[in-house]
Amino acid sequence: MGKLNVVVLRYLSRDDFRVLTAVEMGMKNHEIVPVSLLSSIASLRHGGCNKILRELVKHKLVVYERSKMVQGYRLNYGGYDYLALKTLCSRDVIVSVGNQMGVGKESDIYIVAGPNGEQYALKLHRLGRTSFRNLKNKRDYHKHRKNMSWLYLSRLSAMKEFAYMKALYDRGFPVPKPVDYNRHAVVMELINGYPLCQVHELQDPPALYNEFMELIVKLANHGLIHGDFNEFNLMLDDQDHITMIDFPQMVSTSHPNAEWYFDRDVKCIRDFFAKRFNYESELYPTFKDIRRSYSLDVEVSASGFTKDLEKESAFLHPAGPEREDDDDEEEDDDEEEAADEEIPHENVDMEEYNHAMLELEGLKVSDTHAEVSNEKEEEREERKDTENVPAPRSDEKTEKVTEEELKEAEDECPELADLSLVITVRNVNTYIS
């Protein structure tokens, strides 16, 4: 794939992002979003919306599709990338995007730079490459979520990775420092090292083997199992210091298949050391050895990764010991396609849409990443004391306020010229997830 092409991002207008965001919101309830709904959400004339959509299709940010029942547009990863990058840029998290560092099974990794020249790793989750079997194995739940797209699952994957990375980093685990995330994009510390799969010689294989086993046990004692603890998700620097990456598939030790996941993580390390370094040890931990002393899994849930999200994130777990037959794969596809045609046109949350647009404009209103400015909070408190006005506003007032703020924002993107530059960085071989 090479360099992430962000040249067009500089030239997209505010209305372009209104339509892109409208497609994103419409896809919460529709596989294909009709133009009439997009015009309504974006508050644009039908003809103007069509013109913008043609340009977005030209730049491969949305896709036009026609089915027997409906014709319209859907967002692809290109458009999702732009929405995430624009938001991260508006937050002053990144100002430029460099070359691709690596390609994982379900993600792409790029080097990016912050406003002060600091370099980070940008991980764009791209579920759908090799994940269909895993989703199919959980279709009993998936059948109740007909509109669960790869974009949504990628966003869920990024949210889960950031939540666990932050919890582990705060506890002193050897993981990259989390910086920020939006949608399917996670910005983290850039690790100057090599994945274990590229290492062919070690100064002390037994010592490193013991460190890996101790790390697996330490995770479990904190209530977590990595779920994919292998040579591709472990990095070493020149001093053989370990850094652990890739956390979307992480599970709790209370998971029904926790012992199976734990034993598999241990087996991955044992097999790799036996094949690569000809080192085998009879000493290795078992699930019965775990003495749980912390509950990081509970802390992550309390931090905002709710039980509903945790339930949906079961799709991200690697396949467990039970596997289902693949005979009815086509039948399931037909059932889902038929069900998609019957989905009613549900109302789109306009407050959520307006908040997304405000964040794209740099007016930070996200409840997870920013708060309303202190001045507005003080004004509200004054109104409470003097006028006895109830604290919560009505939906109509909220929409009016957000619309006024949107109109006050500039009609063009913030300065994004640097986003087209390639960063010259030190030699980093890969950053596979």
- Secondary structure letter of residue 13 according to DSSP: B
Kindly state the helix (H) or strand (E) to which residue 214 belongs, with its residue range.
Answer: helix 205-221
Q: Is 228 considered catalytic here? A: yes
d(CA 75, CA 83): 10
Phi (first) and psi of residue 396, to 5 degrees: -65, -45
Find the length of the chain.
433
CA–CA separation, 131 and 336 (whole Å) = 17
Q: What angle do CA 228, 306, 32 make, to 5 degrees?
A: 85
Q: Out of 16, 180, 228, 265, which one is annotated catalytic?
A: 228
Residues 125 and 107 sit within 8 Å (Cβ to Cβ): yes
**Packing angle of the helix pair 14-26, 350-360 (nearest 10 deg):** 140
The two tokens of residue 395 are 């939906």
Residue 244 neighbours by CB distance under 10 Å: 20
Confirm if 59 and 8 have CB atoms less than 8 A apart: yes
Residue type, 209: Y
Pairing of strands 107-113, 96-103: antiparallel
Give the amino acid at 11: Y
> Rounded to the nearest 5°, which phi and psi values hold at 35?
-65, -35
Identity (one letter) of the amino acid at 385? D
284, exposed or middle or buried, with CB in 10 Å at 0-12, 13-18, 19+? middle
Q: Which residues are catalytic?
A: 228
